Amino acid sequence: MKFRAQVIPFGNATGVEVPDKVMQALGPEGRPPVTITINGHSWRSRVAAMRGQRLIGISAAHRAASGISEGDVIEIDVERDEAPREVAEPADLAEALNDCPQARASFDRLPFGLRQKHVRTIQEAKSADVRERRISKFVAALRDSSSRRV
């Protein structure tokens, strides 16, 4: 479903308000998973609720990739995202998680966005040593976390 909206600031982030008719079309869930496309650039997210508004956040990286700026009036294509929310685990992380059942269980309980964030942190390591340290630290934190999120 396409709509036009202004990119507005929210603290140190930006986003667009989702019209009621779009929210109704996305279904009854309060924070539906969606795929957003702006100027040919697409990403997966969820509609957020903030101060009584339904919003789609647009990070600096997504603004740059879409060629938009704060204050612009843009056309947005939003579709409900029915695809499974799975994160591709790098082989070395998967091996470390599989070697520690508690860490594996904790990782599998994390929401999609947190799993994605931690995998990205590992993938962005500049050297093999840093990557190994990040994996070890992450697995230890998962192992030691009972119910709290890492």
Residues 51, 12 within the same domain = yes
pLDDT at 10: 83
Q: In the predicted model, what is the mean pLDDT of the chain?
A: 92
Strands (E), the chain: 2-6, 8-10, 13-17, 33-38, 41-46, 48-50, 53-58, 73-80
Predicted confidence (pLDDT) at residue 49 exceeds the cutoff of 80: yes
In this predicted structure, the answer to whether residue 98 has a pLDDT above a threshold of 60 is yes
pTM for the full predicted model? 0.69
pLDDT band at 131 (very low <50, low <70, confident <90, very high): very high
Domain membership of residue 29 as a residue range? 2-80
User: Does residue 7 belong to any structural domain of this protein?
Assistant: yes
CA distance 125 to 135: 10
CATH of the domain at 8: 2.40.30.100
Q: Is the pLDDT of residue 54 over 60?
A: yes
Amino acid (1-letter code) at residue 37: T
